[in-house]
Amino acid sequence: YRRPTPTEVPLTALGQVIRRSGSRAQVAAQILLSDGTLTAEAQALLMRPTEEFFQRWESEKVHWRIDDD
């Protein structure tokens, strides 16, 4: 968080992969106003789920709903 991010105005969301290593990726993201002002930024370390996770997830899918925009 850098400053308040207004609603109902054009924003630019940028994301990039900083580094990849095996099943991990370090990523970064920013939200910018139309004049280029940075309002928010984030960094994260993401890990690829194991095959066991995907197998368990199959039974959980019925409890989730994804709405199209």
Tens of pLDDT along 2-49? 899 999 999 999 999 999 999 999 999 999 999 999 999 999 999 998
Q: Take residue 16 and report the two structure tokens written for it.
A: 């990039």
Q: Is the dihedral of CA 44, 20, 58, 69 positive or negative?
A: positive
pTM of the model: 0.68
Q: Which helix (H) or strand (E) holds 57?
A: helix 51-60
Query: What pLDDT score does 15 carry?
Result: 96
How far is the C-alpha of 16 from the C-alpha of 19, rounded, in Å?
9
Amino acid at 34: S
Give the largest Cα separation in the chain, rounded.
46
Residue 27 has which token pair? Answer: 């990523």
